[in-house]
Structure 1
Amino acid sequence: MEDIKGGIVMANLKFRLIKEGVGPKGGVPLNIAFIDIRDIKEAGITIEHAFNAISKEVNGPIGMNVFDMDAVTTTSDGIAVDGAIIAMAAGDIGKVHKEFGILYMEEIPVTDELISEEPHLIQLVKNYQGKRLFRGPDPRKKLIPVHNAVMTGKAVNNNSATEMMNAVTMKEIILPILGQIQIMRDGPILFGYTGEVISVGIGMTVAEKYGRVFPTRQFRAGDTAHGSGQYAKTLKKNIPCIVASKAILAKYTIQALKAGMVPGKDIGCSPAVLCIAKAMGVPIAFDNITEKAWVELESVGITREFLKAKSRVLTEDEIIERSDEIVPGVEEPVAMSSMDIVEKVEIFV
């Protein structure tokens, strides 16, 4: 940053940091930084400069995500949420790999054609009109094939910044987007083990262009991206995760269902979505859910019989109030404020 005479002026960069080892369940396996694009702009620097400055400051394995809190994104099962990751990085020993260390998410213009191809995006028209949409990167602009990942030294940041790992200790953590958004808002989170239900739910995706995991429209709503039967529930079972409180998850899911989204048809058939839909008494596209998906759902107790069984329809407030009872997922959860594990850091850049 230069002043009007061409001299260098030091600026401050603010970010949130979870230090390696902090938190229950053994803590996070590497340092994790959460950066607001507004703070980068206020410092008068580029995203790349910010990543390098933070990596130099921490001087250890670190995953870094930049957020635009005025943009929108979707969860893996197609729920629209406000707040989006727009860039991701991995650093170590004070450096960020020039080729493989940074990746930018692609802005996706929201057009009538896109909405016709991805019906779950009608949520943007109804709830987030005019907001910019980001999910994953353009595959033509990344060097690492298949995975939307970056790496430097021991640090790996994967699946468009929702899964991080230490490549030496082989420990990892799952970071669903809603949990990260709560960290950016200093909100409530659950820190626990991913468990069987979320392991199954992660696979119940929707077909999206430039998706967080898949670059093309590979698995439609009602199908499973895992296709691993009874084993699906074991895939991430013992890995720690940081997720939003179940009340927050319920709020966004209810918003999607009120926008007319039908689980198994428009949005994914994850256990959380199905259980909230049952509680609301709204339609579920039972016949559009594939047999492969049913095998995985039934392995964690989400059966046709359970979902079709008559029960009192709950109000939105009741569902949110009873969300810990209604919404399955997360084993051995520890409820906390994100500020219990997050430090707010300010450095000169």
Structure 2
Amino acid sequence: MGELLVRYIEQGKGPKYGVPINIAFLDKKDIEAAGKTIEEAVIAVAKAVGGPVGINVFDMEAVTTTSDGVMVEGAIVAMAAGDIGTVHKEFGLLYMEEMPVTPDLIKEEPHLLQWETYYKGRKFFRGPNPAKKLIPVHNVVMTGRAVNNNSATEMMNAVTMEEILLPILGQLQIMRDEAVVFGLTGEVISVGIGMTVAEKFGRVFPSRQFKAGDTAHGSGEYAKTLKANIPCIVAPKKVLAKYILQALKAGMIPGLHLGCSPAVLAVAKAYGSPVAVDNITEKARVELKSVGIDIGRFKVADEPMSEEEIMERADDIIPGVEDPVLVDSEEIVTKLKLYV
């Protein structure tokens, strides 16, 4: 019998709003050390929790990209949803597809030059292979009341319709036992999550639908309302700034290689990096303007700030998250040991 470590956030835990569904985080290494498969591990978690639970499995040695194309360390390799002590055999578990980073792939997706620059040799994951999943359109798993969507970055209770947004960097903070920010998603992030890059087997889209500089939402001023009132768990802004700066230093240009999200644009402006203003579509401009971002400002470079200053002032530079509360992840996470 092996011992399995589970980082677990119980429904209702956390400041103010709390999480609307039970959430469990597993490290692939811990699963392997326990002598179990991923499927066996997520079923064990579902049995231990009993109620609706979203379950994410990580490879902390691998890398992934954010929806706007910034590469980060640590990747989700499987997602599951459990309820009443089980995981649905057909719809409850889905694996992310490992993507070999080749010269041809980099040519199609130039933001992957970040891998070549910083992470060469590391495994790379984003979303699932659509040919290997049963539910069409969405990268989602579900069991009973539990729904785990968009390649494990959004969870909800299908009965109460309560939902939480879980951007990848916030989850990685939890896996590292580091601080996270609780808050309401707000209008800025609602707009930002639509500013994607074109990726094969992406976290949200299976094919290269929306290029950098465009918006996947295409809903005008309404875009800012889409997720505005749901809670989120995100990384402190200095962590986000670190990875955006890393991308910029690798030669990534917002609007050309990276999505034109408010966070990416803000850091680029502060760092004095160029922005491909002419490549930003009218639809994206309308959505950005709805949250006070005038693309015309990015045609002229400001006096650049240092990396250290940007990191130090990240909370002032990067917009987004309403009513934020910084908490040590260990205050909201219970470490369970399951004997499996």
**Normalized against structure 2, the TM-score is what?**
0.99
* 3-state DSSP of counterpart to 1:269: coil
- 1:40 maps to a residue whose letter is I
Where does 1:208-223 land on structure 2 (aligned, <5 Å)?
Answer: 208-223=199-214
2:76, 2:4 → 1: CA distance? 18
Q: Tell me the matched-pair count.
A: 340
Aligned counterpart, 2:42: 51
| Conserved 8 A contact 1:208-1:216 | yes
Alignment partner, residue 7 of structure 1: none
From 164, 185, 200, the counterpart of 1:194: 185
For 1:280, the equivalent position in structure 2 comes to 271
2:4 match: secondary structure: strand
Contact 1:17/1:344 (8 A) holds in 2: yes
Q: What is the aligned partner in structure 1 of residue 141 from structure 2?
A: 150
Q: In 1, Cα distance between the equivalents of 2:156 and 2:295?
A: 36
1:203 equivalent to 2:197? Answer no
1:119 lines up with 2:110 in the alignment: yes
Superposition map of 1:149-298 within 5 A: 149-298=140-289
* Deviation, structure 1 residue 15: 1.2
- Correspondence for 1:4: none
The one of 10, 14, 20 aligned to 1:19: 10
Contact 1:25 1:193 survives alignment (8 Å): no
Distance, in Å, in 2 between the alignment partners of 1:298 and 1:145 is 33
Q: Is the 8 A contact 1:275 1:307 kept in 2?
A: no
Gaps of 5+ in 2: none
Q: Secondary structure at the match of 1:191?
A: strand
Larger radius of gyration between Structure 1 and Structure 2: 1
Q: 1:331 aligned to 312, 322, 326, which one? A: 322
2:30 to 29, 36, 39: 39
> Following TM superposition, by how much is the alpha carbon of 1:281 offset from its aligned partner in structure 2, in angstroms?
0.4
1:72 to 36, 59, 63: 63
> 1:26-59 CA deviation, whole Å, 9 max, x = no partner?
2111110000000000000000000000100111
Shift of 1:25: 3.3
2:76 alignment partner, one of 73, 85, 98: 85
1:132 aligns with 123
1: distance between equivalents of 2:66 and 2:45?
Answer: 27
| Matched position secondary structure for 1:294 | helix
Amino acid aligned to 2:194:
G
Tell me, in whole angstroms, the C-alpha distance in 2 between the residues paired with 1:27 and 1:152. 22
Query: RMSD between aligned alpha carbons?
Result: 0.8
CA distance in 2, matches of 1:149, 1:25: 27
1:96 to 87, 93, 116: 87
Runs of 4+ with deviation above 4 angstroms = none
Q: Give 1:187 shift.
A: 1.2
Match of 2:48, SS state, is helix
Q: CA deviation at 1:308?
A: 4.0
Asked if structure 1 preserves the Cα contact closer than 8 Å seen for 2:7 and 2:25, the reply is yes
* Offset from partner CA, 1:240-277 (integer Å, 9 cap, x none): 00000000000000000000000000010000000100
Matching residue's letter, 1:80: M
In structure 1, give the amino acid aligned to 2:46.
Answer: S
Which residue identity lines up with residue 204 of structure 1 in the other structure? M
Q: Give SS of 1:217's match.
A: coil
Distance, in Å, in 2 between the alignment partners of 1:228 and 1:284 is: 23
